[in-house]
Amino acid sequence: MTALLHAEGLSKQFAKDDVAIVALRNFSLTIEEGSFVSVLGRSGCGKSTMLNLLAGLTQPTKGEVLYRDRKLSGPDIEIGYLTQSDTLMPWRDVLRNVELPLEVRGVPAKERRRVATELVERVGLNGFEKHYPRELSGGMRRRASLARMLAGAPETLLMDEPFGALDAQLRTELQEELLRLWQGTGQTVVFVTHDIEEALLLGDRVVVLGGLGRIVLDRPIGLARPRSVDELRVDPEFVSLHGELAAALKEGSR
Amino acid sequence: MSRTDELVAPADDLATGPVRVSLDRTWWQRHGVTTTVWLVRVLLVAAFLTLWEIAADRWIDITFISKPSDIIERLGEWIGDGTLWSNSWITIQEIIYGFLLGAVAGALAGFVLASLNFVYRVLDPFMMALYSIPKVALAPLFIVWFGIGMNMKVLLAAATVFFLVFLNTAAGVREVDRGLIDAVRLMGGNRWHIARKVVLPSSMTGVLTGLKVAIPYALIGAVIGELVASNRGLGYLINDAAAQFDTAGVFATLVVLSIIAGVLNVFVSMISKRVNRWKPIDD
């Protein structure tokens, strides 16, 4: 596997009056093509800052992000980003929201409609194409956001606690759905979460972050796929990994 | 049913979303409250007019309050000799031109200035200062500049409308959700895409709110202009009637003005409906 996304010595600080708040300090990470990497960390450890930098939304104060050995100077259409909060356009219905990335790219209307309809169906939203985001439940809005991101056909997906605001039941459903959508596509995923179970269920590799983006633990996860939450919970390997990650998180917060 | 089957099942079967069911309601259940409200309104107006008719000249001097029958008679007279229509038309034209001029200028200025962060910061206090001037106080100046013809009233109405539309548009543009802009940037959108796909639709609420609150002010601006100096229009009619102690004439003009205001309010509520189109459905 080759390195697809590479962060080198990233630092990010936000200036406010006479002080700068440091969110990330000297952070380096390499993501291999086609892998599913879970990034685990407690709130405030710089996870979102890191993703914003990897997505090219913000520029690092120091260091650089390389995507396919090119320096990333702004958002790239090959990189899809599913943010923590919903950013569906409230004045567009589900279908037109999913069409948006294609619209920006100048795809003809007919083709747009076809791709969007298919994606809406794939995320299980058929029947709700004409609904506005406010008329949908939180879970359905997440599905719509997912469909919109996939409409851009990115080869890399960045996800920032995408299911954080959902109830446990729905979360499990969407996690398994994500795995189903991802498997066999060859897409690379960086999945940020604060939930150990989620990190283990999804990732090929788990990176545990401490304060300011310090990497506490970086290890591959050998659990067999397809994985299911209910079976994993009693798997001895899963239980020991869970303990290891919990300890790493604790160490990271010191 | 296995877990995966459940996930790809049609969305209607998912317990996570709202479900639509048809309701069978009678005509009265549907429109009962509205009908009652309208009935009470009509009764209230009838009672008020009757009381006024009785009170006039019996309890209160008719010179001050006139009476409904006189007012209707005066309206009939004015309609007959064409006074009413010619003067109303003048006022209506002033309202329309004033509103269009002010609204277009206000919306354009709002978009442009609010998009240019630095310019907006520099100009903001000046705009607020100009906005705070009571527009009536500008009337004498406008007379000097534009004479007492229709131009002066149109511009007075436009000046009022301009600031209301400008401020609301600018607020709308500046309150655009940062997340939505980033979403379009991530799709590879440039400044033009952001302006068209995010800023324009997102600030529409602000623009429409501005248009909505500005409509009555176009009427106020036009009539005040006419009250200050004119020889035509409804404002002139009020002045003229009052100068002759013709209370019935003043009230007759007020009736016409409230009809115009009523029609304008219909436009306002049409705009409001449009504003709320992507808001959640009622109850």
DSSP-based three-state secondary structure for B56: strand
The pTM of the full predicted model, rounded to 2 decimals, is 0.76
Residue of A nearest to B185 (CA): A75
Q: Are A84 and A57 in contact (CB under 8 A)?
A: no
Query: Is A177 part of a structural domain of the chain?
Result: yes
Residue of B nearest to A169 (CA): B16
- The alpha carbons of chain A give a radius of gyration, in whole angstroms, of 18
Residues of chain B with pLDDT under 70: 1-19, 275-283
pLDDT of B209 reads 86
Same domain, A165 and A247: yes
Instruction: Please name the residues between 169 and 198 in chain B that touch chain A, using a CB distance below 8 Å.
Output: 177, 179-180, 182-189, 193, 197-198
Same domain, A94 and A177: no
Between CA B275 and CA A200 the distance in angstroms is: 46
Query: Is A43 part of a structural domain of the chain?
Result: yes
Chain A closest-CA separation from residue B280 CA (Å): 6
Structural domain that includes position A127: 86-153
- Choosing from A110, A130, A153, the residue where a domain stops is A153
Same domain, A146 and A217: no
Chain B closest-CA separation from residue A3 CA (Å): 22
pLDDT of A97 reads 94
Chain B closest-CA separation from residue A188 CA (Å): 17
- The answer to whether the Cβ–Cβ distance between B188 and A104 falls below 8 Å is yes
Residue of A nearest to B199 (CA): A89
pLDDT of A157 reads 92
Same domain, A200 and A230: yes
Same domain, A91 and A216: no
Query: Is A171 part of a structural domain of the chain?
Result: yes
Query: Is A11 part of a structural domain of the chain?
Result: no
Task: Compute, in degrees rounded to 10, the torsion defined by CA atoms A156, A161, A163, A169.
Answer: 120
Q: Are A221 and A206 in contact (CB under 8 A)?
A: yes
Q: What is the per-residue DSSP string for chain A? A: --EEEEEEEEEEEEEETTEEEEEEEEEEEEEETT-EEEEE--TTSSHHHHHHHHHTSS--SEEEEEETTEEP-S--TTEEEE-SS----TTS-HHHHHHHHHHHHT--HHHHHHHHHHHHHHTT-TT-TT--GGGS-HHHHHHHHHHHHHHT--SEEEEESTTTTS-HHHHHHHHHHHHHHHTTS--EEEEEES-HHHHHHH-SEEEEE-GGG-EEEEEE--PPSSP-HHHHTT-HHHHHHHHHHHHHHHHHT-
Task: Indicate the domain borders of chain B.
Answer: 64-277
Between CA A233 and CA A229 the distance in angstroms is: 6
Q: Which residues of A touch B276 (CB under 8 A)?
A: none
Count CA atoms closer than 13 A to A102's CA, side-chain side. Answer: 22
- Choosing from A101, A128, A153, the residue where a domain stops is A153
Q: Which residues of A touch B4 (CB under 8 A)?
A: 176, 180
Chain A closest-CA separation from residue B207 CA (Å): 15
Sheet with A79-82, strands from edge to edge, namely: A79-82, A156-160, A188-193, A36-40, A205-209, A215-220
Q: Which residues of B touch A91 (CB under 8 A)?
A: 201-202, 204, 277-278
- Choosing from A153, A182, A199, the residue where a domain stops is A153
Query: Is A235 part of a structural domain of the chain?
Result: yes
First to last CA, chain B: 35
pLDDT-above-70 percentage for chain A: 100
pLDDT digits (tens, 9 = 90+) for A203-240: 999 999 888 888 888 999 888 888 888 888 888 999 99
Same domain, A117 and A203: no
The structural domain count of chain A equals: 2
Q: Which residues of A touch B12 (CB under 8 A)?
A: 127
Between CA B275 and CA B212 the distance in angstroms is: 10
Structure tokens that stand for B197 in this block? 């796909």
Same domain, A133 and A206: no
CATH of the domain at A174: 3.40.50.300
Same domain, A181 and A232: yes
Domain B64-277 part of CATH 1.10.3720.10: yes
Same domain, A91 and A165: no
- The answer to whether the Cβ–Cβ distance between B187 and A101 falls below 8 Å is yes
Give φ, ψ of A63 to 5 degrees. Answer: 85, 180
Nearest to B219 by CA among B134, B37, B95, B102: B95
Pairing of strands A19-32, A205-209: unpaired
Same domain, A212 and A233: yes
Q: Which amino acid is at A202?
A: L
Residues of chain A with pLDDT under 50: none
What is chain A's mean pLDDT, rounded? Answer: 88
pLDDT of B2 reads 42
Query: Is A14 part of a structural domain of the chain?
Result: no
- The answer to whether the Cβ–Cβ distance between B7 and A124 falls below 8 Å is yes
Same domain, A143 and A161: no
- The answer to whether the Cβ–Cβ distance between B17 and A136 falls below 8 Å is yes
Q: Which residues of A touch B186 (CB under 8 A)?
A: 55, 57, 75, 79-81
DSSP-based three-state secondary structure for B60: strand
C-alpha dist (Å) from residue A31 to A214, A221, B53, B114: 16, 15, 87, 41
